[in-house]
Structure 1
């Protein structure tokens, strides 16, 4: 007679016999997270630049974008894209909703990270660049952003961790991600304990290395005092 223990060995055996479902969801989660992160980084850099520009319209746009996405739950955004937009005639696949929804949502948080990194650079460097004939775009491209990257890497890694975990909300729209795969298997087999435990370990395997990197790099910055930016020589202006 099989044990009724929710973590009995036979339950894990049954799970690994159906491991294809978990493997498919795992790699789908990685793909969605990777594409969403690329989108979030692109949006984040744009929002960060808008937030620190002298153009009032761009600054207001960036502030509205950040406040909007930081103050609504991601699940509401996903439901809106899945049901609301579909009713308006714009039907998207669960995969597309995952990439776009998670990407736009985390773009607001990364935008704040980029903004904080840019403002951490001494204003004297921007003024020096302008005095050499650089415009705003050239100043950001050649002087400010290269130094900003070193400062914002740890919080960016933390945002990547949060992004990976937030892909789990796609389970509510049958996104075929890791969480949906685990929940589907658990519901059909009643092996809830092993299913959620393995899903948690798979998420852990993705997130923990990034969290460790963020912590180690932050300690490296503190030890080497990289956060204190030193003046650099200005490159020639490229016409």
Structure 2
């Protein structure tokens, strides 16, 4: 056991650098993807048929294509069209597209959960359609969607492990390199898993607690 701890101490600085990179990719992907999801949730309910069709196509492609395919497309596919992205940029763009597609449905479900009477009341007091959306539907809908969005954010942190396939030196990539150099795959992968669990497990409990709290104050 002491030998294992000594190994972990030697590997930890390298793995922490990869972990920080994983966190950065996750943060940027969510910072871009969740606003994109909000925009798509609004566009799929637009009056224009063409806008709805384009938005729905983006959502369905983003949800239907595995994140690994999107990563490969942006890193290996785009250079064929004359556009080259770094592994970090490719990871952020691919995961942001995936985030936007999935969260749009979560946000739209939140909007649908807002009682129609709330929307009618907004119009009765003199708000136009845009103001009703801005001040009534979006705040209440986002509150409903918040637990799902937070839960998805945890999944996106875990999904950064796929980025090793495009040579991004994130946590799993560094763990794999250490395993290749030392042939100690199991100990280093256990340590990498523990680093993920250090954030994901407490976050999962926090999201569950938040969901229970919000359910007691749900919009009726």
RMSD: 1.6
Q: How does 1:29-178 map to 2 (within 5 A)?
A: 29-178=22-171
Are the equivalent residues in 2 in contact too, given 1:74–1:102 (CA < 8 A)?
A: yes
Measured in 2, the distance between the counterparts of 1:144 and 1:202 equals: 38
SS in 2 for 1:18: helix
Pairing partner for 1:16 from 6, 9, 28: 9
Cα displacement string for residues 56-86 of structure 1 (whole angstroms, at most 9, x for unaligned residues): 2232222111111111111111111111101
1:132 shift after superposition: 4.2
Task: Compute the TM-score of the two structures, normalised by the length of structure 2.
Answer: 0.93
Name the one with the larger helix percent.
2
Are the equivalent residues in 2 in contact too, given 1:160–1:210 (CA < 8 A)?
A: no
1:210 shift after superposition: 2.2
Q: Report the number of matched residues.
A: 220
Q: Does 1:212 align with 2:205?
A: yes
1:11 shift after superposition: 4.4
Q: Does 1:221 align with 2:214?
A: yes
Are the equivalent residues in 1 in contact too, given 2:111–2:142 (CA < 8 A)?
A: no
Measured in 2, the distance between the counterparts of 1:47 and 1:130 equals: 24
Give the greater-gyration-radius structure (CA): 1
Cα displacement string for residues 111-137 of structure 1 (whole angstroms, at most 9, x for unaligned residues): 000000001111222233334443333
Unaligned runs of 5+ in 2: none
Unaligned runs of 5+ in 1: 1-7, 230-239
Measured in 1, the distance between the counterparts of 2:172 and 2:181 equals: 14
Are the equivalent residues in 2 in contact too, given 1:52–1:118 (CA < 8 A)?
A: no
C-alpha spacing 1:136/1:167, structure 2 compared with 1 (3 Å): farther
Are the equivalent residues in 2 in contact too, given 1:157–1:213 (CA < 8 A)?
A: no
SS in 1 for 2:44: helix
